[in-house]
Amino acid sequence: MSSLAPVDVSGRCGRAFTAASERFGIDALLVTSLNDIRWLTGFSGSTGVMVVRAGSSTLITDGRYVHQASEQLSNAGANVDVVLAKDSVDTLESISDAVRGSSKCGYDPNELTVRQLQQYSASITSELIGVDGVIQHLRRIKSVPEQQRISAASEIADRALAHVEPLLTSALTSDVTERDVRDELEMLMRRFGADGPSYETIVATGVNSALPHHRPTFALLREGQSVVIDVGALVDGYHSDMTRTYLLGDCDAELVRMHQLVKEAQALGVRAVKAGVIASEIDGACRDLFGQYGLGHEFSHGTGHGVGLQIHEMPWLRKNANEPLQVGEVVTVEPGLYRVGLGGVRIEDLVLVESTGCHVFTHSQKEHLCLRSPLTT
């Protein structure tokens, strides 16, 4: 991954402060989400709190990360002071120092527990103002270097899945479990350059495939079953996301029909993606097709979501999502049908929103309907 261009975070603190100030009238912004902090500064440690103000920002972290923070912020060109906090009391005092003189301090209520809010309220003299999702909205648009990382993660997942297909075929003549497939995928993604899996890899076979977020078990893959594989890789903090469904050998005609309908619905959804389209319209394009066949009730989740520093982030492609898509957003399109007692089918691509359509990051084939038993002599 050495060929990836660095992510330029310069100016992001200023953009975030301006957006929050203009909308909510705050003069300081408390940032507690590590994903938001990474987007603002490039800091990738596991502990940190930021205060962003006009012209200056402060990152407060503990002794494990002071050197790392100074190095990462220096490399990224971020204009942020790094402050060492020895413990939680020291952290609260440092936050209080950083916001001193402000009258209204913004915070994201989605990122705080009640206890944390109570602690900050007791320590900060400024009025605390909820500024819901300001930085998450800015994160929706991915820069070219961010797109490169997502693309690299997608390529790794594609490559790992291609290498695992023979294992699926071998399941027709030998014992292969859901966990075997998961473990092989995650090992291969690391071998091919990923920092790890993007999320808990889903491998669901037989009746388990009717559970959209099934966790792999020792269930054996068997002929006549569907196998849903939901897999993504993590590259330099950025995620990929993809699902393919395989039908093993000769399957029930209903599973074959479900697979064909999901494939058609997913293609409709991908074709509907472009800048300016209301997100709920993409969900509707997939959902309406299922409804025509009386199967709308078997599609039990939204059609997609944004992907970036988090595997699930803005924007959301679901009912009542009324915001238009924008150039540079990265979203999934992942309709599915799930029938308890029979199985499920989901097909998912990760796409980049463009002005006239979308660029598809994930390229694993969708045509592997029926893997056949290997020939024997």
Q: What is the pLDDT of residue 266?
A: 98
318 and 279 Cβ atoms separated by less than 8 Å: yes
Q: What is the pLDDT of residue 2?
A: 59
Residue with tokens 């319209």: 281
Q: What is the pLDDT of residue 1?
A: 58
Cα 35 to Cα 50, 82, 96, 114, 294: the distances in Å are 12, 17, 22, 20, 41
The angle formed by the CA atoms of residues 234, 337 and 200, to the nearest 5 degrees, is 25
231 and 197 Cβ atoms separated by less than 8 Å: yes
Longest C-alpha distance within the chain, in Å?
82
In this structure, what DSSP letter does residue 309 have?
S
- Taking only Cα atoms into account, the Rg of the chain, rounded to an integer number of angstroms, comes to 23
Taken in order 168, 169, 172, 176, the sign of the CA dihedral is negative
Q: Quote the CA–CA distance of 67 and 53 in Å, as a whole number.
A: 23
**Residue 32 φ then ψ, to 5°:** -110, -15
The whole-angstrom distance between residue 189's C-alpha and the CA centroid of its chain comes to: 17
Q: Quote the CA–CA distance of 84 and 70 in Å, as a whole number.
A: 11
Q: Quote the CA–CA distance of 235 and 146 in Å, as a whole number.
A: 10
* Sheet strands (E) in the chain: 28-31, 49-53, 56-61, 81-84, 104-107, 127-130, 196-197, 202-205, 226-231, 233-235, 238-239, 242-248, 304-306, 313-317, 330-333, 336-339, 343-346, 349-353, 358-360, 370-371
Q: Residue 257: which residues within 8 A CB-CB, separation 6 or more?
A: none
Q: Quote the CA–CA distance of 345 and 148 in Å, as a whole number.
A: 29
Q: What are the domain boundaries of the chain?
A: 12-139, 144-371
Residue 274 identity (one-letter amino acid) = K
153 and 194 Cβ atoms separated by less than 8 Å: yes
Q: Quote the CA–CA distance of 201 and 231 in Å, as a whole number.
A: 5
Q: Quote the CA–CA distance of 123 and 91 in Å, as a whole number.
A: 10
Residue 209 identity (one-letter amino acid) = S
What is the chain's pLDDT, residue by residue, as a tens digit (377 residues)? 558 999 999 999 999 999 999 999 999 999 999 999 999 999 999 999 999 999 889 999 999 999 999 999 987 777 899 999 999 999 999 999 999 999 999 999 999 999 999 999 999 999 999 999 999 999 999 999 999 999 999 999 999 999 999 999 998 889 999 999 999 999 999 999 999 999 999 999 999 999 999 999 999 999 999 999 999 999 999 999 999 999 999 999 999 999 999 999 999 999 999 999 999 999 999 999 999 999 999 999 999 999 999 999 999 999 999 999 999 999 999 999 999 999 999 999 999 999 999 999 999 999 755 555 555 44
Q: What is the pLDDT of residue 75?
A: 75
The burial of 190, by beta-carbon neighbours within 10 Å (0-12 exposed, 13-18 middle, 19 or more buried), is given as middle
Supply the DSSP string of 140-197, one letter for each residue. Answer: TSPPHHHHHHHHHHHHHHHHHHHHHHHHHHHTTTS--BHHHHHHHHHHHHHHTT-SEE
Q: Quote the CA–CA distance of 320 and 94 in Å, as a whole number.
A: 41
CATH classification of 144-371 is 3.90.230.10, yes or no?
yes
CATH classification of 12-139 is 3.40.350.10, yes or no?
yes
**Residue 250 φ then ψ, to 5°:** -85, 120
**Residue 113 φ then ψ, to 5°:** -80, 165
